[in-house]
Structure 1
């Protein structure tokens, strides 16, 4: 039939022919997709091995394989790498995971371990660990008992703030040969620190202020003189006073000490009016 004759066909016939051709193409495409899906699901593509690499000092390969591999979904072609990454990052001690396909039929998983810097306690919560970025994570606390990690505590979501404060205070304490072992942020915003020697210091609500850090430095400088003078160790100090501090000796209470004159003074809390 000539092209001229074809154009002379009634409209409904031309539409029917076009629809038929479209259905044939759709059917062919569906067959290709179905065949491709069938082929992708064959056990030819099953993952044969998972290669673990990276920081494995704290991360147990046995634990990773036991906890992560059963949760992986799909084969070498169909596995969702982003989802697999989250599965590996749910394993204790894993901070980040990078998952890649390796031919033939293998996965390469590069793991980065958490670096614990402190224990973390918050009201109503189980003990966790804090990493170097201030993030909390769960792990077997018994694995870090010999590391001498400091203990942080505070309201939920404040672990990064407490870590940052510890990094501010530790250099000041180190000048007096003191080491921070406990740092607590109270629900009212009050900060308390304890050192390895057992010294407890109440810093108030603004320990990162220049005035509070000056009082802390002055107190630590005067502490050996006070202990020598009274023949007793200082077990706690209250630095919340604007012009001095109050100390407590083992078995004895002392009035406030003015760091600028070295004379005792009656302490007055910040904000109090006579």
Structure 2
């Protein structure tokens, strides 16, 4: 009985065979890739429709078709959903968008619209709107006529701070049946408030402080008495005094006296402004 041991191939032949197999696999993978790419580019994968859903009260489908759809790149298989989301979020009145593939050959786009709460004025820039999150955004202001939105103003990047301040001040005003018509943070940090009745109030640099809140309530409490005393309405008040406030009467002009007709103390004689 004899045994046969297979003869080991030389190293160069083994290397050649290994290289041949590797090249064959690479060519096969390349062919698969080319065929797959060719199939993915065929017209039968084209997106047939874009289904809009969500909050569409101010978002026009006509605007979406005209401005967003031409920017979408790729077909049902190749479209970049993150890039498509950015395209839809760049549209007027769109705060956020979620884009999903929907079989067969459709996109489902869920839109969340901006909710305007105020008109924003920033020095050196065109008016914008402020949403419920305090973010400034650009839209056609003609679309919000009749909503009676308050006017906010301040340096760049402070829209959220102004919105928060308005929410802090409104409860104190509401006790006296007043509503904010305008709230502005000046370049020096001083805040100015105007109510819908036309009353202007200078609040100083810390309108949300306990001291200023106390002076505001004291002024609004004494306001009817002061108006009765002088027989005129108060059209502005300055609360920047540490222990009192100054008021200006409607229709009174006193040159050289800063148009202030009365300075009322709340506990002791008023000192300097804050």
TM-score, length-normalised on structure 2? 0.93
Match of 2:248?
248
Matched, 1:129 2:129: yes
Q: Secondary structure at the match of 1:173?
A: helix
Match of 1:259?
266
User: CA offsets, 1:93-144, max 9 Å, x none?
Assistant: 0111111111100011111110000000111111100000001111000011
User: CA offsets, 1:24-68, max 9 Å, x none?
Assistant: 110000000110011001111000000111111111111111110
Provide the rounded CA distance (Å) in 1 between the counterparts of 2:90 and 2:140.
14
Instruction: Indicate conservation of the 8 Å contact 2:244/2:270, yes or no.
Output: no
* Superposition misfits of 4+ residues, deviation over 6 angstroms: none
Match of 2:24?
24
Provide the rounded CA distance (Å) in 1 between the counterparts of 2:99 and 2:273.
57
Provide the rounded CA distance (Å) in 2 between the counterparts of 1:25 and 1:170.
73
Instruction: Indicate conservation of the 8 Å contact 1:246/1:267, yes or no.
Output: no
Could you tell me which runs of 5 or more consecutive residues in structure 1 were left unpaired when the two chains were aligned: none
Aligned residue pairs total 264
Match of 1:111?
111
Matched, 1:268 2:249: no
RMSD: 1.3
User: CA offsets, 1:167-206, max 9 Å, x none?
Assistant: 0011111111111010000111110000111111000000
Provide the rounded CA distance (Å) in 2 between the counterparts of 1:47 and 1:164.
44
Match of 1:33?
33
Correspondence 1:219-230 to 2 at 5 A: 219-230=219-230
Provide the rounded CA distance (Å) in 1 between the counterparts of 2:68 and 2:5.
65
Deviation at 1:152, TM superposition (A): 0.4
Paired residue for 2:6, among 4, 7, 12?
Answer: 4
Q: Secondary structure at the match of 2:145?
A: helix
Could you tell me which runs of 5 or more consecutive residues in structure 2 were left unpaired when the two chains were aligned: 254-259
Instruction: Indicate conservation of the 8 Å contact 1:255/1:267, yes or no.
Output: no
Match of 2:43?
43
Deviation at 1:259, TM superposition (A): 2.6
Match of 1:100?
100
Instruction: Indicate conservation of the 8 Å contact 1:245/1:267, yes or no.
Output: no
Correspondence 1:155-194 to 2 at 5 A: 155-194=155-194
Match of 1:234?
234
Match of 1:140?
140
Matched, 1:199 2:199: yes
Q: Secondary structure at the match of 1:4?
A: coil
